[in-house]
């Protein structure tokens, strides 16, 4: 063999393994990236090791849970457990936190900017100087972004959801609490978000108003395959509405699964009893 061929052979013997190593690393990175993307696509919401500190207090201490597309998912727990903080993070309102949160593969802020998320705080109220219709019209205009047909679609659905009849044209200052809540629910859901986040949707309502709102939530979830995350202190309501729940206490997940599974696993008669056992221990 000539000296030139021998030298070329030696160079190849050294460089080929390096090239193969680089290709292998790039391929593995590609597979890893696509594996993560596929995992994200399987869930509407994916939360891993979520932590939030406010001042000197740790509010969330490593929450992890996933929500499937089209699921009604409950986040329950005692006062101060971190429910509202979690919902505000998922809605893109609280931007600074530690951990991994994806909404349809996007950060909460990105998902919010794309109009994927609609959030209803517990203390939400309509503009009382406007009629119910004017309230809906204002939000329909805001979300439609100049698309007249889309605005009319939102507005029509909002009127249907609120089911206020002729009272839709009255000033909302004259509405009962239940009527105001129905209008707020309509305002939140009429834009058909991919994810609707509802904080205590039936809080302080009478039985009839609460039942109406529960039926609205279920109807919208089924009709539009809408993913809904809600919080509630009413365990009967949670059992009725939610496909799955996560129970948190002191910023940590203490149980997750279908309501009936949690009841069975805690040897309880119902979710309320299971809640008491998991949060306060056997009493």
Res 246: pLDDT: 98
Res 144: pLDDT: 95
Burial class (CB in 10 A: 0-12, 13-18, 19+), 224: middle
Q: Give the pair of three-digit tokens for residue 148.
A: 């007249």
Res 31: pLDDT: 44
Residue 82: closest CA among 255, 247, 281, 273: 247
Res 26: pLDDT: 53
Residue given tokens 């089924």 in the structure block: 222
- In angstroms, the CA 135 to CA 233 distance is 28
SS (H, E, C) 244-263: EEEEEECCEEEEEECHHHHH
Res 204: pLDDT: 83
Mean pLDDT of the chain: 90
Side-chain-side CA neighbours of 279 within 13 Å: the count stands at 19
- In angstroms, the CA 69 to CA 197 distance is 13
Res 37: pLDDT: 44
Residue ranges in the chain modelled with pLDDT below 50 = 21, 25, 27, 29-38, 40
3-state helix, strand, coil in the chain (%, to 5): 50, 20, 25
Q: Give the pair of three-digit tokens for residue 18.
A: 């390096």
């Amino acid at each position: 063999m000539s000296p030139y061929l021998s030298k070329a052979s030696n160079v190849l013997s050294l460089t080929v393994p390096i090239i193969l190593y680089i290709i292998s690393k790039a391929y593995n990175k590609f597979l890893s990236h696509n594996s993560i993307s596929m995992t994200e696509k399987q869930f509407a919401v994916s939360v891993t090791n979520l932590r939030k500190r406010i001042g000197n207090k740790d509010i969330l201490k490593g929450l992890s849970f996933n929500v499937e597309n089209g699921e009604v998912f409950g986040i329950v727990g005692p006062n101060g457990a971190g429910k509202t903080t979690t919902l505000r993070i998922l809605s893109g309102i609280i931007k600074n936190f530690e951990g991994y949160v994806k909404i349809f593969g996007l950060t909460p802020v990105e998902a919010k900017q794309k109009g994927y998320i609609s959030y209803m705080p517990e203390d939400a109220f309509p503009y009382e100087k406007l009629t119910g219709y004017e309230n809906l019209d204002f939000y329909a205009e805001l979300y439609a972004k100049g698309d007249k047909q889309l605005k009319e679609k939102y507005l029509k659905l909002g009127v249907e959801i609120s089911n206020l009849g002729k009272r839709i044209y009255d000033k909302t200052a004259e509405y009962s609490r239940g009527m105001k809540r129905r209008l707020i629910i309509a305002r939140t859901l009429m834009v058909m978000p991919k994810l609707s986040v509802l904080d205590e949707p039936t809080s302080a309502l009478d039985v009839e108003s609460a039942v109406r709102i529960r039926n609205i939530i279920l109807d919208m979830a089924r009709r539009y395959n809408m993913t809904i995350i809600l919080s509630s202190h009413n365990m009967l309501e949670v059992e009725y509405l939610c496909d799955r729940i996560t129970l948190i206490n002191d910023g940590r997940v203490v149980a997750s699964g279908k309501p009936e599974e949690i009841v069975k696993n805690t040897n309880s008669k119902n979710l309320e009893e299971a809640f008491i056992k998991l949060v306060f221990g056997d009493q």
